[in-house]
């Protein structure tokens, strides 16, 4: 897949997997996120390898991230979206989401989903809403999954 880059002031958003700082991503997910505490580095590496990833950078340092799991035809799932706390409130999260939803490979998706504990209003502005037919959706969820892996 072709790498796409977006520039704004001193910031860069890139889909180039070679730019990703896997250590920084793993550190945030395992120490700062509520959804992936304790995730193994190998799991992060495998997830990155099988996803369309968006890194957010300032002067070459990774300050944010998002990834999309997709077949690039009908379905996508947005996951692991974050900005380091010191970069929040600057419009970078909104810009990141604009870049994600405008990516050419994601334009034919019939269903694009995500799960969030507290950012529903933020994602609403990008067309994400509560399930229209919640009775049609099921999940198989392994609670505390990352705590179970030795």
Task: Answer yes or no: are the C-beta atoms of 34 and 27 closer than 8 Å.
Answer: no
Could you read off the pLDDT of 34-67 as tens digits, one per residue?
A: 999 999 999 999 999 999 999 999 999 999 999 9
Distance CA 13, CA 101 (A): 13
> Residue 143: what pLDDT?
72
Query: Does residue 140 or residue 102 have the better pLDDT?
Result: 102
> Residue 145: what pLDDT?
65
> Residue 83: what pLDDT?
98
> Residue 141: what pLDDT?
82
Give the pLDDT band of residue 150 (cuts 50, 70, 90): very low
Give the helix ranges, DSSP H, for 14-128. Answer: 22-31, 41-49, 92-102, 120-124
- Please, which residues have CB within 8 angstroms of residue 83's CB and are 6 or more apart in sequence? 56, 63, 64, 92, 93, 96
Would the pLDDT of 148 be above 70? no
Please state the domain extents for the chain: 5-148
Q: How many angstroms from the chain centroid is the CA of residue 64?
A: 9
- Please, which residues have CB within 8 angstroms of residue 15's CB and are 6 or more apart in sequence? 1, 3, 4, 5, 52, 53, 54, 55, 103
Would the pLDDT of 149 be above 60? no
CATH superfamily placement of domain 5-148: Gcn5-related N-acetyltransferase (GNAT) (3.40.630.30)
- Predicted TM-score (pTM) of the model is 0.93
Would the pLDDT of 147 be above 80? no
């Amino acid at each position: 897949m072709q790498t796409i880059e977006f520039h704004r002031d001193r910031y860069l958003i890139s889909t180039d997997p070679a730019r990703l700082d896997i250590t920084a991503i793993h550190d945030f997910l395992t120490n700062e996120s509520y959804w992936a505490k304790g995730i193994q580095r190998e799991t992060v590496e495998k997830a990155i390898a099988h996803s369309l990833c968006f890194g957010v950078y300032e002067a070459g340092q990774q300050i944010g991230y998002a990834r999309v799991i997709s077949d690039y035809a009908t379905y996508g799932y947005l996951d692991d979206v974050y900005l380091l706390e010191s970069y929040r409130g600057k419009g970078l999260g909104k810009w990141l989401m604009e870049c994600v939803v405008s990516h050419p490979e994601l334009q034919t998706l019939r269903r694009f989903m995500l799960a969030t504990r507290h950012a529903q209003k933020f994602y609403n502005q990008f067309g994400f809403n509560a399930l229209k037919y919640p009775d049609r959706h099921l999940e198989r969820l392994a609670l505390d999954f990352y705590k179970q892996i030795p």
